[in-house]
């Protein structure tokens, strides 16, 4: 299959909403040497298919950069809480997921309650469902983070 998403019951991946500011910053990141050696095709595709909104117009239940997300890996049953961050802010701990990591790319732009299947290295697949947002910068009025 050419698309990195696995089939969903509806046959389509869940819709994505991305802030214009996040999209601009991520497109700049994709052009850096830091991203050059990584498989960024999935993130590029996600940005291409995303519906863009101005930061002040972001629904408060959408995962944006620097959001703190609660999600479950339905394959393992493990629940996680982590911030979705730029690579410079990822410290390797479980509390911060880089947008360039497969799980980070999968979560960007999803709404609370959304579910996505996303391929991982080694041929595995993560089946992720968003349980909630503890923090979203746009909803908190932090529009220029």
Contact 118, 126 (CB under 8 A): yes
- CA 138 to CA 17: how far, in whole Å? 13
**Mean pLDDT of the residues in the chain:** 88
In this prediction, residue 145 carries a pLDDT of: 53
* Residue spans per domain, the chain: 17-138
Q: What is the SS3 assignment for 97?
A: strand
- CA 46 to CA 64: how far, in whole Å? 13
**For range 14-23, the mean pLDDT:** 95
In this prediction, residue 11 carries a pLDDT of: 53
pLDDT in tens, 90-141: 877 769 999 999 999 999 999 999 999 988 888 888 899 999 999 999 998 8
In this prediction, residue 97 carries a pLDDT of: 94
Contact 83, 96 (CB under 8 A): yes
- Please state which of the four CATH numbers 3.10.50.30, 3.40.50.620, 3.40.50.300, 3.40.50.2000 is assigned to the domain occupying 17-138: 3.10.50.30
């Amino acid at each position: 299959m050419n698309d990195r998403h696995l089939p969903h019951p509806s046959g389509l991946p869940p819709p994505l909403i991305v802030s214009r500011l996040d999209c601009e910053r991520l497109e700049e990141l994709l052009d850096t040497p830091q991203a050059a050696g990584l498989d960024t095709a999935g993130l590029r595709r996600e940005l291409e298919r995303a519906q863009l909104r101005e930061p002040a117009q972001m629904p408060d239940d959408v995962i944006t950069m620097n959001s703190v997300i609660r999600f479950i890996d339905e394959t393992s049953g493990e629940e996680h809480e982590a911030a979705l961050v730029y690579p410079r802010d990822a410290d390797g701990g479980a509390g911060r997921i880089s947008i360039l990591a497969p799980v980070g790319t999968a979560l960007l732009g999803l709404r609370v309650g959304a579910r996505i299947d996303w391929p991982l290295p080694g041929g595995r697949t993560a089946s992720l469902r968003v349980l909630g947002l503890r923090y979203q910068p746009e909803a908190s009025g932090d529009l220029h983070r």
